[in-house]
Amino acid sequence: MDQISVGVIGAGSWGTAISLLLAENGHEVDLWVYEKDLLKILNEKLENETFLPGFKLPSSIQPTNSLEEAVTDKDIVFLVSPTHAIRQVVERFAIFLKPGCLIVNASKGIEIDTLLTVDQILESILPKHCLRGCISGPTFAKEIAQKVPSAIVAAAHDLKSAERIQNLLSNNRLKTFTSQDVLGVEIGGALKNVIAIGTGIADGLGLGYNTRAAIITRGLVEMARIGCALGAKPETFSGLSGMGDLVLTCTGDLSRNRTVGLQIGQGKTLANITKNMNTVAEGVHTVKSAYQLKEKLQVQASIIEETYHVLYDDKPPLDALNDLMKVDISHEFEGVAGLK
């Protein structure tokens, strides 16, 4: 396809990996870097030694500390900031976007207090002339940079925008599928991080594979319950942004969210864990949003509930597990529209 000038907002591991992918596909990328010390490293070392070491940045990736420079005259802008910072960042650059610009959310979270997905945040902030989409799926940043065969889903409200994202990202190492269920794709990408923390806690307690499989599978049902209650399509949760990303994040050693849960299960406190992490585990914030959502929607989501109590109410993990096993049993797909 023709070369496209793209902006990437956020130079963490995932933002850097997306930039490398876009550059590999022949596109010019302006990569916005929040941290000025990191910008200096990228310009001097041509490598993101802090968040994604070992991968040289080609000349087609231009790091910048200017949001205006990163988004001006861009046809497509990828948003890869932590969810809790997205509203503030987008409010700063929205005035520089050209008409018809496609904003693609690549972050995975739900805003605390408002309980809005990123797409809903963007809808309330972006100029009406802008288009919106998102990407999600089972993709560790390091493995995308290593060109490991992978698959992802690109969602947008109109199929043409989804196909634009698909064409931009696809190559012989990344298969990109399309969807128009933006809500379902974003809910799946956000809530799987919460389930990954719960799975990590169980693993940290030294429990077996049976337990892990049960949490993953029942966690998927909880994701679908919440998603369907909000209006998402049930089949989305059996796809890449649901089951695919859930399995990866709950079992992969590169998962930051699983690592948080693992260390909690081993007896460490959340404060000590997060203090020693140089990258954001989105699930730590999303646990709060997910818990508030289940309460608001009156949806049964016991794994999400117990994970919240462990992280924020200092509930002992074994007590949480025992309470999980006391939850009333029901039809396997109780509360999931279209599947019961």
Question: What's the confidence (pLDDT) of residue 337?
Answer: 64
| Average pLDDT estimate for 106-125 | 96
Question: What's the confidence (pLDDT) of residue 1?
Answer: 56
According to DSSP, residue 111 is labeled: -
Q: Is the pLDDT of residue 183 over 70?
A: yes
Question: What's the confidence (pLDDT) of residue 272?
Answer: 87
* 258 Cβ neighbours under 8 A, 6+ residues apart: 196, 197, 199, 200, 203, 249, 250, 251, 252
Token readout for 266 is 């081993």
| Average pLDDT estimate for 161-179 | 98
Give the span between the Cα atoms of 129 and 100, in whole angstroms. Answer: 5
Give the confidence band of 274 by pLDDT, cuts at 50, 70, 90. confident
The percent of residues in the chain predicted with pLDDT above 90, rounded, is 89
Give the confidence band of 334 by pLDDT, cuts at 50, 70, 90. confident
Q: Which domains does the chain have, with CATH numbers?
A: 5-180 (3.40.50.720), 183-325 (1.10.1040.10)
Question: What's the confidence (pLDDT) of residue 328?
Answer: 77
| Cβ–Cβ < 8 Å for 30, 69 | yes
Q: In what order do the strands lie in the sheet with 174-179?
A: 61-64, 28-32, 5-9, 76-79, 102-105, 131-136, 150-156, 174-179
> Among all chains, which residue has been given the structure tokens 């909000």?
230
| Average pLDDT estimate for 155-169 | 97
Task: Give me the residues paired with residue 135 across strands.
Answer: 154
Give the span between the Cα atoms of 25 and 169, in whole angstroms. Answer: 7
Separation of first and last alpha carbons in the chain? 44
Task: Give me the residues paired with residue 174 across strands.
Answer: 150, 171
Residue 172: count other Cβ atoms within 10 Å of its Cβ. Answer: 7
* 136 Cβ neighbours under 8 A, 6+ residues apart: 106, 108, 152, 153, 155, 185, 186, 188, 189, 240, 241, 245
Catalytic positions, please?
A: 192
Question: What's the confidence (pLDDT) of residue 339?
Answer: 55
Token readout for 226 is 């919440």
Angstrom CA distances, 83 to 109, 173, 186, 282, stand at 5, 28, 11, 8
Query: Mean pLDDT for the chain?
Result: 95
Q: Is the pLDDT of residue 8 over 90?
A: yes
Question: What's the confidence (pLDDT) of residue 219?
Answer: 97
The percent of residues in the chain predicted with pLDDT above 70, rounded, is 98
219-261 pLDDT per residue, tens: 999 999 999 999 999 999 999 999 999 999 999 999 999 999 9
Q: Is the pLDDT of residue 303 over 60?
A: yes
The pTM assigned to this predicted structure is 0.95
